[in-house]
């Protein structure tokens, strides 16, 4: 029985390759630091200078909010959906280092 438990903990070995830097932080991380509901103005005071990852490159939250018409976010999901409607949702650009 002890041998079976040891094998379960090992799991498959996966090669991750070279580290590729990605500028900014995930939108989910920014959203997780906040409490809901939240006014747009208060959100900008607290996180407006946060740089989030987008498919077209890093952007500050205050820059993204120039294209968001919502002034009050009831839920985290509403916030994330509104930001993603502006920046998109997909793979993010990586910084190529050589």
User: What pLDDT was estimated at residue 11?
Assistant: 56
Do the domain assignments include residue 6?
no
Would you say residue 49 lies in a domain? yes
Q: Model-level pTM?
A: 0.73
Q: CA–CA separation, 19 vs 24, rounded Å? A: 15
Residue 7, in any domain of the structure: no
Number of domains in the chain: 1
User: Which carries the bigger pLDDT value, residue 98 or residue 73?
Assistant: 73
- Does the structure show a pLDDT above 60 at 7? no
The residue ranking higher by pLDDT, 82 or 2, is 82
- Which domain, by its residues, includes 66? 22-87
Does residue 9 belong to any structural domain of this protein? Answer: no
Kindly provide the residue ranges of all beta strands, DSSP E only, lying in the chain, ordered along the sequence: 38-39, 51-52, 59-60, 72-73
Tokens of 40: 């747009």
pLDDT digits (tens, 9 = 90+) for 24-83: 899 999 999 999 999 999 999 999 999 999 988 899 999 999 999 999 999 999 999 999
Of residues 68 and 93, which shows the higher confidence score?
Answer: 68
């Amino acid at each position: 029985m002890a041998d079976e438990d040891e094998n379960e903990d090992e799991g498959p070995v996966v090669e991750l390759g070279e580290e590729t830097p990605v500028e900014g932080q995930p939108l989910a991380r920014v959203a997780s630091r906040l409490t809901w509901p939240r006014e747009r103005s208060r959100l900008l005071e607290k996180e407006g200078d946060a740089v989030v990852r987008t498919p077209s490159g890093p952007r500050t939250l205050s820059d993204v909010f120039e294209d968001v018409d919502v002034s009050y976010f009831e839920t985290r999901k509403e916030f994330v959906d509104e930001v993603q409607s502006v920046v998109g949702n997909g793979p993010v650009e990586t910084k190529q280092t050589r």
